[in-house]
């Protein structure tokens, strides 16, 4: 009996450690990716200060602020879900994951309306309006659509991870003794939150 249990425990421990290490490496590569984009943005802003200053007034600070608050709260709910799992509170874990998913959906809906407003006025990548903009304006909006769009993709990936985790918590596959998936999903979600914390001031606030 001992011979069977011990290797099984070792395998489970090794898998969890590898999963966490893999997630940290992935997060590191994502930070490098967005870090590079932030540098590109900074360089172009330095070269086109007036155009970037005027263009940023076309964005809604209110919408950006609402989305910032949504992500900060969702980051807290993910942290609470992990804490609840450690206390073996399955119900609270599921509730917090559900709230996080709902907040993520609200974020995407807000982003849809924000982008939709631009699209209605003919402002989108490849449009005639974009082509006729000055070089500085075009750079600003190209970076805006690309970077916030890439962030939205990360939100969707995070939602998929959290939804899978929620199902596994419900079935008992993720539990107090084995919750590496929940921790990794939480880490990923904190990354998504962190990226937006930089995107928001860069595009909406800096004068």
Please state the pTM of the whole predicted model: 0.86
User: CA 21, 199, 75 angle in degrees (round to 5)?
Assistant: 50
pLDDT score, position 134: 86
CA pair distance 88, 75, nearest whole angstrom: 20
Using one digit for the tens of pLDDT, what is the confidence trace for 168-182? 999 999 999 888 999
Structure tokens at 126: 């490849």
pLDDT of amino acid 189: 96
Residue 175: beta bridge partners? Answer: 178
In angstroms, the CA 107 to CA 155 distance is: 9
pLDDT of residue 15: 63
pLDDT score recorded for residue 23? 86
Positions of the chain with pLDDT under 70: 1-15, 207
52-85: pLDDT as tens digits: 988 888 899 999 999 999 999 999 999 999 999 9
What is the three-class DSSP state of 51? Answer: helix
3-state helix, strand, coil in the chain (%, to 5): 85, 0, 10
Residue showing tokens 């590191």: 28
> Mind listing the domains of the chain with CATH numbers?
2-205 (1.20.120.80)
Which residue has tokens 């709230």?
A: 99
């Amino acid at each position: 009996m001992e011979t069977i249990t011990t290797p099984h425990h070792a395998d489970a421990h090794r898998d969890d450690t590898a999963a966490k290490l893999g997630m940290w490496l992935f997060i590191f590569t994502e930070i490098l990716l967005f870090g590079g984009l932030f540098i590109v943005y900074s360089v172009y802003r330095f070269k086109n200060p007036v155009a970037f200053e005027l263009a940023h007034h076309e964005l809604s600070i209110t919408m950006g602020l609402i989305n910032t608050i949504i992500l900060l709260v969702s980051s807290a709910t993910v942290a609470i879900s992990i804490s609840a799992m450690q206390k073996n509170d399955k119900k609270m874990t599921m509730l917090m994951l559900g709230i996080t998913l709902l907040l993520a959906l609200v974020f995407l809906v807000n982003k849809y309306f924000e982008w939709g407003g631009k699209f209605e006025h003919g402002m989108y990548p490849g449009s005639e309006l974009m082509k006729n903009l000055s070089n500085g304006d075009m750079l600003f909006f190209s970076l805006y659509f690309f970077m916030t769009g890439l962030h939205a993709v990360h939100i969707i990936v995070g939602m998929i991870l959290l939804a899978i985790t929620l199902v596994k918590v419900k079935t008992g596959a993720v539990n107090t003794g084995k919750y590496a998936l929940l921790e990794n999903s939480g880490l990923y979600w904190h990354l998504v939150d962190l990226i937006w914390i930089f995107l928001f001031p860069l595009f909406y606030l800096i004068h």
